[in-house]
Protein backbone atom coordinates (compact mmCIF):
# COMPACT_ATOMS: atom_id res chain seq x y z
CA UNK A 1 0.00 0.00 0.00
CA UNK A 2 1.38 3.41 -1.04
CA UNK A 3 1.22 6.32 1.37
CA UNK A 4 1.09 9.99 0.49
CA UNK A 5 2.89 12.62 2.57
CA UNK A 6 2.14 16.32 2.33
CA UNK A 7 4.40 18.99 3.84
CA UNK A 8 3.73 22.70 4.01
CA UNK A 9 6.69 25.11 4.03
CA UNK A 10 6.88 28.35 5.99
CA UNK A 11 6.00 30.16 2.78
CA UNK A 12 2.80 28.18 2.46
CA UNK A 13 4.05 25.96 -0.36
CA UNK A 14 2.72 22.41 -0.33
CA UNK A 15 4.98 19.52 -1.27
CA UNK A 16 3.39 16.15 -1.94
CA UNK A 17 5.35 12.90 -2.08
CA UNK A 18 4.11 9.36 -2.68
CA UNK A 19 6.07 6.80 -0.72
CA UNK A 20 6.60 3.36 -2.29
CA UNK A 21 5.54 0.28 -0.32
CA UNK A 22 8.17 -0.76 2.21
CA UNK A 23 9.93 -4.06 1.64
CA UNK A 24 12.70 -5.62 3.67
CA UNK A 25 15.98 -5.59 1.72
CA UNK A 26 17.33 -8.84 0.34
CA UNK A 27 20.55 -8.37 2.30
CA UNK A 28 20.65 -6.55 5.63
CA UNK A 29 22.92 -5.98 8.63
CA UNK A 30 21.00 -7.12 11.71
CA UNK A 31 23.53 -6.37 14.44
CA UNK A 32 26.87 -4.69 15.13
CA UNK A 33 28.69 -5.19 18.42
CA UNK A 34 32.19 -4.33 19.59
CA UNK A 35 34.89 -6.13 21.54
CA UNK A 36 35.51 -4.93 25.09
CA UNK A 37 38.65 -3.10 23.99
CA UNK A 38 36.65 -1.57 21.10
CA UNK A 39 39.29 -2.70 18.62
CA UNK A 40 37.05 -5.13 16.71
CA UNK A 41 33.53 -5.03 15.32
CA UNK A 42 31.33 -8.10 15.04
CA UNK A 43 28.79 -7.77 12.26
CA UNK A 44 25.76 -10.01 11.83
CA UNK A 45 23.98 -10.05 8.48
CA UNK A 46 21.16 -11.99 6.89
CA UNK A 47 19.84 -12.74 3.41
CA UNK A 48 16.26 -13.12 2.32
CA UNK A 49 14.09 -12.65 -0.74
CA UNK A 50 15.46 -12.50 -4.27
CA UNK A 51 19.13 -12.96 -3.35
CA UNK A 52 18.36 -16.49 -2.19
CA UNK A 53 16.76 -17.41 -5.49
CA UNK A 54 19.61 -16.22 -7.70
CA UNK A 55 21.64 -19.12 -9.08
CA UNK A 56 25.00 -19.56 -7.37
CA UNK A 57 24.67 -16.32 -5.37
CA UNK A 58 27.23 -16.46 -2.56
CA UNK A 59 26.12 -15.13 0.81
CA UNK A 60 29.68 -14.45 1.99
CA UNK A 61 30.70 -10.75 1.91
CA UNK A 62 33.54 -9.86 -0.44
CA UNK A 63 34.31 -6.49 1.12
CA UNK A 64 33.81 -4.62 4.39
CA UNK A 65 33.90 -0.86 4.87
CA UNK A 66 33.62 1.02 8.16
CA UNK A 67 33.28 4.81 7.98
CA UNK A 68 34.70 4.65 4.47
CA UNK A 69 37.82 2.67 5.46
CA UNK A 70 38.33 -0.54 3.48
CA UNK A 71 38.67 -3.51 5.86
CA UNK A 72 38.52 -6.18 3.18
CA UNK A 73 41.92 -7.53 4.22
CA UNK A 74 41.23 -7.48 7.95
CA UNK A 75 37.99 -9.39 8.43
CA UNK A 76 37.12 -13.05 8.80
CA UNK A 77 33.83 -14.88 8.46
CA UNK A 78 32.95 -16.57 11.74
CA UNK A 79 29.69 -18.11 10.52
CA UNK A 80 28.45 -18.08 6.93
CA UNK A 81 24.87 -17.01 6.35
CA UNK A 82 22.24 -19.45 5.11
CA UNK A 83 18.60 -18.95 4.18
CA UNK A 84 17.66 -19.95 7.75
CA UNK A 85 20.46 -18.37 9.78
CA UNK A 86 22.29 -15.01 9.91
CA UNK A 87 25.98 -14.88 9.18
CA UNK A 88 28.64 -13.33 11.42
CA UNK A 89 32.00 -11.76 10.66
CA UNK A 90 34.69 -10.07 12.73
CA UNK A 91 36.60 -7.03 11.47
CA UNK A 92 39.62 -5.32 13.00
CA UNK A 93 39.01 -1.57 13.05
CA UNK A 94 41.59 0.88 11.69
CA UNK A 95 41.58 2.56 15.12
CA UNK A 96 40.02 1.85 18.49
CA UNK A 97 36.41 3.00 18.60
CA UNK A 98 35.15 5.50 21.14
CA UNK A 99 31.96 5.06 23.15
CA UNK A 100 29.08 6.61 21.21
CA UNK A 101 31.10 7.14 18.03
CA UNK A 102 28.95 6.91 14.87
CA UNK A 103 29.77 4.03 12.54
CA UNK A 104 28.62 3.49 8.99
CA UNK A 105 29.08 -0.18 8.08
CA UNK A 106 28.90 -1.43 4.50
CA UNK A 107 29.18 -5.03 3.31
CA UNK A 108 29.78 -5.76 -0.35
CA UNK A 109 28.64 -8.96 -2.06
CA UNK A 110 28.87 -10.26 -5.59
CA UNK A 111 26.62 -8.82 -8.32
CA UNK A 112 27.14 -5.36 -6.74
CA UNK A 113 24.81 -6.23 -3.86
CA UNK A 114 25.33 -4.36 -0.58
CA UNK A 115 24.07 -4.22 3.00
CA UNK A 116 24.52 -1.07 5.06
CA UNK A 117 23.86 0.14 8.61
CA UNK A 118 24.42 3.24 10.75
CA UNK A 119 24.96 2.69 14.49
CA UNK A 120 26.85 4.13 17.47
CA UNK A 121 29.59 2.16 19.19
CA UNK A 122 29.02 0.70 22.65
CA UNK A 123 30.18 -2.18 24.84
CA UNK A 124 27.86 -5.11 25.54
CA UNK A 125 25.25 -4.78 28.27
CA UNK A 126 24.91 -2.43 31.22
CA UNK A 127 22.96 -2.33 34.48
CA UNK A 128 21.05 0.77 35.49
CA UNK A 129 17.89 1.77 37.39
CA UNK A 130 15.34 4.56 37.29
CA UNK A 131 15.72 7.33 39.83
CA UNK A 132 19.34 6.63 40.76
CA UNK A 133 21.51 9.64 40.00
CA UNK A 134 24.72 8.86 38.17
CA UNK A 135 26.52 11.13 40.66
CA UNK A 136 25.43 8.97 43.62
CA UNK A 137 28.36 6.58 43.37
CA UNK A 138 27.82 5.06 46.82
CA UNK A 139 24.23 4.02 46.11
CA UNK A 140 25.12 2.77 42.65
CA UNK A 141 27.79 0.52 44.14
CA UNK A 142 25.38 -0.81 46.77
CA UNK A 143 22.81 -1.66 44.08
CA UNK A 144 25.36 -3.22 41.74
CA UNK A 145 24.71 -0.64 39.02
CA UNK A 146 27.20 0.61 36.46
CA UNK A 147 28.90 3.74 37.74
CA UNK A 148 28.82 5.22 34.26
CA UNK A 149 26.04 3.63 32.15
CA UNK A 150 26.71 3.53 28.43
CA UNK A 151 23.14 4.53 27.55
CA UNK A 152 20.77 7.30 28.61
CA UNK A 153 17.00 7.04 28.89
CA UNK A 154 14.95 9.49 26.81
CA UNK A 155 12.17 10.70 29.15
CA UNK A 156 9.19 9.67 27.05
CA UNK A 157 6.48 7.02 27.11
CA UNK A 158 5.42 6.83 23.47
CA UNK A 159 3.04 3.88 23.79
CA UNK A 160 0.94 5.50 26.50
CA UNK A 161 1.29 9.05 25.22
CA UNK A 162 0.22 8.11 21.70
CA UNK A 163 -2.69 6.14 23.11
CA UNK A 164 -3.82 8.95 25.39
CA UNK A 165 -3.85 11.25 22.39
CA UNK A 166 -6.32 9.14 20.44
CA UNK A 167 -3.97 6.49 19.05
CA UNK A 168 -2.06 9.02 17.01
CA UNK A 169 0.82 6.69 16.21
CA UNK A 170 4.11 8.52 15.88
CA UNK A 171 2.97 11.59 17.81
CA UNK A 172 5.92 11.27 20.22
CA UNK A 173 8.55 10.91 17.48
CA UNK A 174 9.42 14.63 16.98
CA UNK A 175 10.18 15.15 20.68
CA UNK A 176 12.20 11.93 20.89
CA UNK A 177 14.23 12.82 17.81
CA UNK A 178 14.86 16.35 19.12
CA UNK A 179 16.11 15.03 22.46
CA UNK A 180 18.40 12.50 20.82
CA UNK A 181 19.81 15.14 18.49
CA UNK A 182 20.43 17.66 21.29
CA UNK A 183 22.34 15.09 23.36
CA UNK A 184 24.39 14.03 20.36
CA UNK A 185 25.25 17.62 19.45
CA UNK A 186 26.28 18.18 23.08
CA UNK A 187 28.79 15.34 22.52
CA UNK A 188 27.22 13.05 25.12
CA UNK A 189 28.90 9.66 24.46
CA UNK A 190 25.99 7.69 25.91
CA UNK A 191 23.51 6.05 23.57
CA UNK A 192 20.06 7.61 23.75
CA UNK A 193 17.33 5.01 24.07
CA UNK A 194 13.55 4.99 24.19
CA UNK A 195 11.37 2.35 25.85
CA UNK A 196 8.14 0.55 24.96
CA UNK A 197 5.81 -0.68 27.70
CA UNK A 198 3.20 -3.45 27.58
CA UNK A 199 0.72 -1.16 25.80
CA UNK A 200 2.96 -0.77 22.76
CA UNK A 201 1.70 -2.41 19.58
CA UNK A 202 4.11 -4.65 17.69
CA UNK A 203 3.22 -3.57 14.16
CA UNK A 204 2.88 0.13 14.95
CA UNK A 205 4.65 1.57 17.99
CA UNK A 206 7.65 -0.77 17.86
CA UNK A 207 8.11 -0.20 14.13
CA UNK A 208 8.00 3.57 14.50
CA UNK A 209 10.13 4.11 17.60
CA UNK A 210 12.60 1.29 17.04
CA UNK A 211 14.47 3.51 14.59
CA UNK A 212 14.01 6.86 16.36
CA UNK A 213 16.89 6.50 18.82
CA UNK A 214 20.25 4.81 19.26
CA UNK A 215 18.63 1.83 21.00
CA UNK A 216 15.24 0.47 22.04
CA UNK A 217 14.15 -1.01 25.38
CA UNK A 218 11.13 -3.18 26.17
CA UNK A 219 9.20 -2.98 29.41
CA UNK A 220 6.69 -5.86 29.20
CA UNK A 221 5.61 -6.06 32.90
CA UNK A 222 4.90 -9.78 32.35
CA UNK A 223 7.24 -10.86 35.15
CA UNK A 224 6.12 -8.03 37.36
CA UNK A 225 2.34 -8.38 37.37
CA UNK A 226 1.81 -12.09 36.78
CA UNK A 227 0.27 -13.84 39.81
CA UNK A 228 -0.57 -10.43 41.26
CA UNK A 229 -3.78 -8.55 41.93
CA UNK A 230 -4.35 -8.07 38.18
CA UNK A 231 -6.56 -11.02 37.11
CA UNK A 232 -5.91 -10.53 33.39
CA UNK A 233 -2.18 -11.00 33.94
CA UNK A 234 -2.48 -14.34 35.76
CA UNK A 235 -1.42 -16.32 32.72
CA UNK A 236 0.75 -19.43 33.25
CA UNK A 237 2.57 -18.60 30.00
CA UNK A 238 3.82 -15.23 31.23
CA UNK A 239 7.46 -16.12 30.55
CA UNK A 240 6.63 -16.93 26.92
CA UNK A 241 4.80 -13.60 26.74
CA UNK A 242 7.90 -11.84 28.04
CA UNK A 243 9.98 -13.52 25.35
CA UNK A 244 7.58 -12.30 22.66
CA UNK A 245 8.38 -8.73 23.66
CA UNK A 246 12.08 -9.55 23.32
CA UNK A 247 11.52 -10.65 19.72
CA UNK A 248 9.50 -7.55 18.88
CA UNK A 249 12.15 -5.27 20.36
CA UNK A 250 15.04 -7.05 18.62
CA UNK A 251 13.25 -6.95 15.28
CA UNK A 252 12.30 -3.27 15.59
CA UNK A 253 15.70 -2.07 16.83
CA UNK A 254 18.10 -3.99 14.61
CA UNK A 255 20.86 -3.32 13.79
CA UNK A 256 20.84 -1.10 16.89
CA UNK A 257 21.06 -2.55 20.44
CA UNK A 258 18.00 -3.47 22.48
CA UNK A 259 17.57 -3.46 26.25
CA UNK A 260 15.21 -5.08 28.73
CA UNK A 261 13.54 -3.73 31.87
CA UNK A 262 12.87 -6.71 34.18
CA UNK A 263 10.43 -6.46 37.08
CA UNK A 264 9.27 -2.92 36.38
CA UNK A 265 6.65 -1.82 38.94
CA UNK A 266 7.04 -5.29 40.48
CA UNK A 267 4.35 -6.45 42.91
CA UNK A 268 5.78 -9.94 43.42
CA UNK A 269 9.23 -11.42 43.01
CA UNK A 270 9.82 -14.40 40.76
CA UNK A 271 10.73 -17.43 42.84
CA UNK A 272 12.07 -20.84 41.75
CA UNK A 273 8.63 -22.47 42.06
CA UNK A 274 7.28 -20.26 39.29
CA UNK A 275 10.07 -21.31 36.96
CA UNK A 276 9.48 -25.06 37.23
Q: Do residues 148 and 258 both lie within one domain?
A: yes
Residue after which a domain boundary falls, among 90, 120, 150: 120
Question: For position 36, which CATH number holds?
Answer: 2.60.40
- Residue 14 belongs to a domain: no
- Residue 129 belongs to a domain: no
Residue after which a domain boundary falls, among 94, 120, 146: 120
- Most confident stretch, 242-246, 255-259, 268-272: 255-259
Q: Do residues 200 and 266 both lie within one domain?
A: yes
If pLDDT is split at 50, 70 and 90, which confidence band does 44 have?
A: very high
Q: Do residues 141 and 212 both lie within one domain?
A: yes
Q: Do residues 189 and 259 both lie within one domain?
A: yes
pLDDT for res 132: 85
- Residue 18 belongs to a domain: no
pLDDT tens digit string along 1-28?
A: 567 788 888 888 898 888 777 666 788 9
Q: What does the H/E/C string look like for 80-116?
A: CCECCECEEEEEECCCCCCCCCEEEEEEECHHHCEEE
Give strand pairing partners of 31. Answer: 44
Q: Do residues 96 and 141 both lie within one domain?
A: no
246: left (phi over 0), alpha (psi -120 to 50) or beta: alpha
pLDDT for res 223: 65
Q: Do residues 160 and 244 both lie within one domain?
A: yes
Q: Do residues 84 and 174 both lie within one domain?
A: no
Lowest mean pLDDT among 103-117, 173-187, 193-207, 221-235: 221-235
Q: Do residues 74 and 36 both lie within one domain?
A: yes
pLDDT for res 267: 45
Domain span at residue 38 reads 27-120
- Residue 242 belongs to a domain: yes
Q: Do residues 152 and 114 both lie within one domain?
A: no
- Residue 10 belongs to a domain: no
> What is the domain count for the chain?
2
- Residue 51 belongs to a domain: yes
pLDDT tens digit string along 152-187?
A: 999 888 888 776 655 577 888 899 999 999 999 999
Q: What does the H/E/C string look like for the chain?
A: CCEEEEEECCCCCEEEEEECCCCCCCEEEEEEEECCCCCEEEEEEEECCHHHHCCCCCCCCCEEEECCEECCCCEEEEECCECCECEEEEEECCCCCCCCCEEEEEEECHHHCEEEEEEECCCCCCCCCCCCCCCCHHHHHHHCCCCCCCEEECCCCHHHHHHHCCCCCCCCHHHHHHHHHHHHHCCCCCEEEEEEECCCCHHHHHHHHCCCCCEEEEECCHHHHCCCCCHHHCCCCHHHHHHHHHHHHHHHHCCCCEEECCCCCCCCCCCHHHHC
Q: Do residues 105 and 202 both lie within one domain?
A: no
Query: Could you give the CA distance from residue 227 to residue 218 in angstroms, rounded to a whole number?
Result: 20
Query: Could you give the CA distance from residue 151 to residue 125 in angstroms, rounded to a whole number?
Result: 10
Q: Do residues 107 and 188 both lie within one domain?
A: no
Residue after which a domain boundary falls, among 120, 150, 176: 120
Q: What is the mean pLDDT of residues 107-112?
A: 88
Distances (CA, A) of 80 to 20, 60, 268: 32, 6, 44
- Residue 57 belongs to a domain: yes
Beta pairing class for 87-92 and 102-108 = unpaired
pTM of the model: 0.80
- Residue 228 belongs to a domain: yes
Q: Side by side, which strands form the sheet with 215-219?
A: 151-153, 191-197, 215-219, 258-260
Q: Do residues 105 and 148 both lie within one domain?
A: no
Amino acid sequence: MRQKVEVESKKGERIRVTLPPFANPDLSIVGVTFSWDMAKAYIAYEARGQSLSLPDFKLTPLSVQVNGADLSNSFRVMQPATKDRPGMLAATLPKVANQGEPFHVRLGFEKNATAQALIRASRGIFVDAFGVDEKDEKLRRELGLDLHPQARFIPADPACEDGINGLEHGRSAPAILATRRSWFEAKDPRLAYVHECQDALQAVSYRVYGQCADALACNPYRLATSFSEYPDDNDPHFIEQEENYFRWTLDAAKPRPWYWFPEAFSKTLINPELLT
